Homo-oligomer: A and B are copies of this chain.
Amino acid sequence: MEISFSLERLAKEIGGTVIGDGALKITGVAPLDSAKDGDLTFVTNPRYAKLAAATHAAALLCEKEIPGVPKPFLLIPNPYAALARVIELFYPRPVPAAGIQAGAWVPPTPQSFPGMRRVRSHGCVRRQGRRENRSLSGCLLRGKFRRRRGLSFLSNVTVRENCVVGNRVVLQPGAVIGSDGFGFAKAGEKYVKIPQVGNVVIEDDVELGANVCVDRAVLGTTRIGRGAKLDNLIQVGHNVVIGEHTVMAALTGISGSTQIGNHVVMGGQVGIAGHLKIGDHVTLATRTGLWKISRKKGSTSGRPRLSSPPK
């Protein structure tokens, strides 16, 4: 099956403007270096503009025209966001695609059976036979899914008891939601386990990467705020609260009871100690190590102590 659109049609789809031949037939989308004739390529970061002259693409999706590139342009203020729609057009399939691929096992218990229906409604179960559905994915889902839509659980995902998962949540393979928090009290030479009887709440539109671990609260709730996106292999300790639309890169660890604000951006391999409070719109560079924050009354925007080289 070949899929093609006129440049003009693509402009309509994303709400952009064509500079040049709008009738040009676009047959694919590809990065600057690998784009072939017929492809639409994209410049989502100005620092790659200089590579645009050498591309073999038929046309370019970018914010503004690039001098010295004698090709049609599809201009739009946010080309990266527009790229999402363009890719959907050339690779038509439900989003999140993952949901289609994975079986999701829901044990026949009252609280989670509705979840089964929700998953079905998303189609990822319907496409697989019951038996495959049971045995394929290795998912263990024991949370509450009542009235949820667009859930995507990939293979080998675990959602433990009493956890709540919102709408349009995507869990990549191996993600673990609701594992016991790391709570042990020193009693003489030994450690006594503090029962972890709280839960995890994953709000709407969250995506958690592969093998991410989100511990359940000792009491109360570990919360991942609406729209937050976590990369792979991230550790979220018990009673942590992550704000809305906060993003963090891989291999980051957040210790227990720390609160992270909304719209925070964190690089990879960041480490944050416990019981800290990070305000909204804070940016933490890759490898930041945060042990202490000089609190000003009400504010939390103190200078973090960095273990990463100063930027």
Contacts and interface: CB of A to CB of B under 8 A. Distances in A.
A83 B307 contact: no
A227 interface: yes
A182 B232 contact: yes
In the A-B complex, the 5 residue pairs with the closest CB atoms: A138-B138, A140-B155, A81-B185, A179-B210, A80-B185
A7 to B, nearest CB: 18
Interface string A152-180: 00111010110000000010111010011
Contacts of A53: none
Interface of A: 29-31, 34, 44, 78, 80-81, 83-84, 87-88, 91, 95-98, 101-103, 105, 107-108, 128, 131-132, 134-140, 142, 154-156, 158, 160-161, 170, 172-174, 176, 179-180, 182, 184-187, 189-197, 205, 207, 209-211, 213, 215, 218-220, 227, 229, 231-233, 235, 237, 245, 247, 249-251, 253, 255, 263, 268-269, 271, 273, 286-287, 289, 291, 305, 307-309
A29 to B, nearest CB: 7
A145 to B, nearest CB: 16
